[in-house]
Structure 1
């Protein structure tokens, strides 16, 4: 085995797919690309997200306490990277990247029509924001386009390369302790 610097742990433990986060402040919607997030618990459904003051969306999330986590698929890979390479303070990302905002039910932040799924969230806890830029969000509604042809998500490898979801290993029959999660 070869040793890697401990600072590269994120490259091995990337928790989930790259997502897009939408916010809306004073009627102005924005989108950011986010790779650092994690599920915290099932019920209530809590999601931890790293969004720092270097992100234009940070002030909107702090001010409004709500956002949408949109889950793009591999056909949007280049758009997802390009969204992360510009700032919402200088450009309307919905217009620039030809994405369609759709109204959410419970939050002002828009859903993204072109994404596989959208999760409406409210900030549940900000106690770790000042020290770690860690927002704890509670998922309130989930919208999914089950008929979407492309459903593979992409995962950042920490160096500008990505992996795409592929084969599914179905081990549900072995998950005897967690059957209540199989809905």
Structure 2
């Protein structure tokens, strides 16, 4: 976690704009969970907000509704196996942190663990929207802190120095692809 650098909150959306798979951590009353989530997207700039689809049948949903907070993490390619594992079992039935030997630290501004070794983190507080949450499993959250591994994200841009630090995208059935090469197009 020594390569982490704060990302200005107004630029936090840049961490998610390329549509990576994410890991969500949450905690309520001393009970924590970790899960994978593919449906996370930026929503607003100032204050920064994001959307998270959190199925009502997940253990994480229970914890997020209790605490009102969660952390979105962007795993790297070397964490694809972990991402699949935490997305494939129920945290209400097993302690995933213990089962998979997940190293964690504490979030900076919300009460939750963070998975060590991810390339970016967005700490979030839920914006209560009961209709959206109950009808669509859709959570709106304000990003209260954002930080990223400066080896892979700096000056508002992703730049992957090696394949291990690339973010990942989940397709289905255990199939992922890694974020590709960045390129720029000049505007007229």
Q: TM class by shorter-chain length?
A: 0.7 to 0.9
Scaled by the length of structure 1, what TM-score is found? 0.80
Greater strand proportion: 2
2:22–2:38 contact (8 Å) kept in structure 1: yes
Write the mapping of 1:9-158 to structure 2, written as runs, cut at 5 A. Answer: 16-127=19-130, 128-147=132-151, 150-158=164-172
Residue range with higher mean Cα deviation, 130-139 or 105-114? 105-114
Gaps of at least 5 residues in structure 2 are 1-17, 153-161
Superposition RMSD on alpha carbons, in Å?
2.0
| Structure showing greater relative contact order (alpha-carbon pairs closer than 8 Å, 6 or more residues apart) | 2
Distance change (3 Å), C-alpha of 1:52 and 1:156: same
Gaps of at least 5 residues in structure 1 are 1-14, 177-183
Q: Which residue of 2 aligns with 1:168?
A: 182
Displacement of 1:36 in angstroms is: 1.0
After the TM superposition, which parts of structure 1 deviate over 3 Å for at least 4 consecutive aligned residues? none
Aligned length: 161
Rounded Cα–Cα distance in structure 1 between residues aligned with 2:81 and 2:108: 29
Larger Rg: 1
1:22–1:32 contact (8 Å) kept in structure 2: yes
Residue range with higher mean Cα deviation, 105-114 or 142-151? 142-151
Rounded Cα–Cα distance in structure 1 between residues aligned with 2:116 and 2:149: 9
Partner SS state of residue 58, structure 1 = helix
Rounded Cα–Cα distance in structure 2 between residues aligned with 1:159 and 1:79: 14
